[in-house]
């Protein structure tokens, strides 16, 4: 098994808990940098010169973004609509986006801050794809929903994003291994806290897999919601990708954030 695949599996399955806790997120964050060569201060400064915004604001295919909220793993869909660097800050991005739970869509604004970067050894698949460098950006995010609306709150947590730099010096989203067992990217692990009740719930999402989701994700090579969770917003997803239902696929593919 290749080193990158091992890292993927560790990130997904290191934490064996049905309910996400602060210690789970701390261990997930620690595991994220297992086997990664951390950047020196000078290297990190060079990496931060790149624009990471397009790696998060990916509107071409939201069907790969999977998420949940609450200890019962209620399905949550989320899209980052824009991410632009804060003037004078290489590491921080102003973000806008939307989430949807049970058909209710809410907008949010906030920030994503890169706190650490690291590089990963280039394997054959990456060499063939014309990759010069590959690595991970790690940090924190803080998103706030509109306080004037009902059932709104704040998202807070940690994230990691896998990136590559091409031979032409262009920073890109790392999808070289897309389709391989355990592939994932843009992993966001954190919480949502209600403005009104102050109740805090686990809320995580990611591309292709979800961090800290062992009670929900029972898939081997790809994401698969557990049978008990299907009624918690995952039925249409299950029908589309496990029953090949065309009508369900159309629903999954629609741009719900418009």
CA 13: distance to chain centroid?
15
The answer to whether 63 and 252 are in contact (CB under 8 A) is yes
Number of residues that make up the chain: 258
Question: Count of H helices and E strands in the chain?
Answer: 7, 11
pLDDT per position as a tens digit, 180-236: 998 999 999 999 999 999 999 999 999 999 999 989 999 988 999 999 999 999 999
- H or E element, residue 113: strand 104-119
For residues 156-179, one letter each, b for 16 or more C-beta atoms within 10 angstroms of the residue's C-beta and e for the rest, the string is bbbbbbbbbbeeeeebebbbbbee
Q: What share of the chain is helix, strand, coil (3-state, %, to 5)?
A: 25, 35, 40
Binning pLDDT at 50, 70 and 90, where does residue 31 land?
Answer: confident
The answer to whether 184 and 208 are in contact (CB under 8 A) is yes
Binning pLDDT at 50, 70 and 90, where does residue 12 land?
Answer: very low
Higher-confidence position of 239 and 24: 239
Domain ranges of the chain: 3-214
Q: Would you give the DSSP letter of residue 195?
A: T
pLDDT per position as a tens digit, 82-129: 999 999 999 999 999 999 999 999 999 999 999 999 999 888 899 999
Rounded to a whole number of angstroms, the distance between the first and last alpha carbons of the chain is: 42
């Amino acid at each position: 098994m290749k080193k990158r695949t091992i890292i993927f599996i560790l990130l997904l399955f290191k934490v064996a808990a049905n309910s996400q806790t602060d210690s789970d997120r701390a261990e997930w964050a620690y595991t994220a940098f297992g086997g990664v060569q951390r950047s020196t201060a000078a290297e990190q400064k060079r990496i931060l010169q790149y624009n990471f915004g397009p790696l998060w604001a990916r509107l071409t295919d939201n069907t790969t973004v999977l998420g949940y909220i609450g200890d019962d793993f209620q399905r949550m869909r989320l899209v980052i609509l824009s991410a632009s660097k804060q003037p004078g800050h290489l590491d921080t991005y102003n973000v806008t986006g939307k989430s949807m739970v049970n058909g209710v869509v809410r907008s949010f604004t906030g920030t994503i801050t890169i706190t650490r970067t690291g590089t990963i050894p280039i394997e054959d698949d990456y060499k063939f794809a014309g990759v010069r460098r590959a690595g991970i950006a790690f940090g924190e995010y803080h998103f706030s929903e509109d306080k004037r609306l009902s059932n709104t709150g704040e998202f807070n947590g940690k994230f990691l994003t896998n990136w590559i730099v091409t031979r032409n010096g262009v920073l890109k989203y790392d999808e070289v291994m897309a389709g391989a067992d355990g592939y994932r990217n843009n992993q966001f692990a954190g919480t949502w806290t209600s403005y009104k009740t102050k109740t805090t719930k686990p809320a995580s999402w990611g591309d292709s897999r979800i961090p800290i989701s062992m009670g929900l994700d029972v898939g081997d090579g790809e994401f698969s919601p557990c049978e008990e969770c299907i009624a918690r917003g995952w039925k249409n997803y299950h029908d589309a990708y496990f029953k090949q239902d065309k009508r369900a696929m159309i629903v999954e593919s629609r741009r719900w954030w418009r």
